[in-house]
Amino acid sequence: MKFLQNATRTIRVCCFFLTVLVSCLVLQQYFLRNVDHNTLRVEGYYQEERNSLDVVLIGASDIYTSFMPGRAYEQFGFTGYLLASESITASGVETAVKEVVRTQHPGLIVIEANAFLYGNAENEDDEAHLRKFFDNLPLSRNKLDYILKNVPEDKKAEYLFPFVKYHGLWNEYPDRFFMTANDLSLDVRGYNYLKGFRTTAEIYKTDRECFNSRIADEHGELDLDPKLEKKLTDLLDYCKSQDLNVVFVRAPHYVTAETYDRVKRSNRMAGIVKEYGYDYYRFENDAVSIGIDEKRDFYNDDHMNVYGALKFTDYLASKIVTEQKLRPDPLTDSQREAWQDTVSATNQLYRYCDHLMSTGDVRGAQEDVLTLLALGDYSDAPLTRR
pLDDT at position 176, please? 61
Q: What is the DSSP letter of 329?
A: P
Cβ atoms of 357 and 203 within 8 Å: the answer is yes
Which phi and psi (to 5°) does residue 81 adopt? -145, 145
Over residues 330-345, the pLDDT tens digits come to 999 999 999 999 999 9
pLDDT attached to residue 26: 45
At 314 the pLDDT is 98
Give the side-chain half-sphere CA count within 13 A for 179.
19
**Angle of helix 90-103 versus helix 127-134 axis, rounded to 10:** 10
pLDDT at 386: 66
Give the chain's residues under pLDDT 70.
1-34, 163-178, 386
Minimal CA–CA distance to 305: which of 378, 376, 253?
253
pLDDT of residue 27: 45
Q: Tell me, what DSSP letter sits at residue 307? A: H
Of 110, 55, 73, nearest to 383 by C-alpha is 73
Q: Please, what's the largest Cα pairwise distance for the chain?
A: 88
pLDDT at 188: 86
Question: What's the confidence (pLDDT) of residue 182?
Answer: 82
- Distance between CA atoms of 259 and 264, rounded to whole angstroms? 10
